[in-house]
Amino acid sequence: MSIIDPMPPAILLLSGGLDSATCLAEARANAFDLIYTLAFDYGQRHRHELSCAIKIATHYQVKEHRVVTIDLRAFGGSALTADIDVPKDQIIDAPTHRTPEHAITNKPLPITYVPARNTIFLSYALAWADVLGIDDVFIGVNALDFSGYPDCRPDYVAAFETMARLGTRRTQFRIHAPLVHLTKAQIIRRGLELGVDYAMTHSCYDPTPTGQACGHCDSCILRKRGFIDAGVSDPTVYA
């Protein structure tokens, strides 16, 4: 696009994790300069990520950062929101034997799966987009090297887009998921190219009260492996 035709404003789901921080850097690299970020306080054990999201939003000088409180605990059903232990040191698919992108529903979902979480998050992003008149929403989902959640797959993202165009005034609504086909190591390499400071990000599902990563949950294991596979040092402080 030319100077007289700047990129439109965008809304970006910013959890405070490694993926959404990289997604924000990628949006900026693609000349989306006017970005509104959205985080959710949904009663997650790892509320430390919310303070990371604020730090990242401030660092990237976003137009506005909002935290919406939603009550996912009301329904329970996940180790991330209910009184269920977060599994530790489980054997999960390593990058060398990844889950096929379209076969996820064939295996049981991990207990850290939060039912319809991304659908609820994207619905709020859609509501804000429709109020602001914004057509572009970024989400840092990736369908490889993740915990096997169905709402991270490209066909899910495409289906949400279709539904959103029919259900609101945003008939040109687009979801950008720039990380969807990348491995965790590829995300980290790309983020470092873009200057992301991963020390500002938080991935752990079960941190200490001061926000230190446990080092043993699925999310920590995937993060650790990502840095190893990318061949770079991991700035994370593990408890």
Of the candidates 160, 198, 205, 227, which one interacts with a copy of itself according to CB under 8 A? Answer: 160
Total residues contacting a copy of itself (rule CB under 8 A)? Answer: 40
Dihedral sign (CA 200, 204, 205, 208): negative
Any contact of residue 228 with a copy of itself (CB under 8 A)? no
- Angle formed at CA 137 by CA 164 and CA 117, multiple of 5 degrees: 70
- Binds a copy of itself (CB under 8 A): choice among 101, 130, 197, 234: 130
Q: How far is the CB of 168 from a copy of itself (least distance, A)?
A: 6
d(CA 120, CA 165): 16
CA 122, CA 156: separation in Å to the nearest integer? 12
Name the minimum Å distance from CB 107 to a copy of itself.
11
Q: How many residues does the chain have?
A: 239
Interface mask toward a copy of itself for 93-112; x: CB under 8 A:
------------x---x---
If the CB atoms of residues 89 and 155 are measured against a copy of itself, the closer one turns out to be 155
**Per-residue x/- marks for a copy of itself, 48-87, CB under 8 A?**
------------------x-xxxxx-xxxx----------
Query: Residue from 54, 163, 192, 228 that binds a copy of itself (CB under 8 A)?
Result: 163
With binding defined as CB under 8 A, does residue 192 bind a copy of itself? no
Nearer residue to a copy of itself within complex by CB, 90 or 119: 119
Q: Which residues bind a copy of itself (CB under 8 A)?
A: 66, 68-72, 74-77, 105, 109, 115-120, 123-124, 126-128, 130-131, 150-151, 153, 155-156, 159-160, 162-164, 166-169, 171
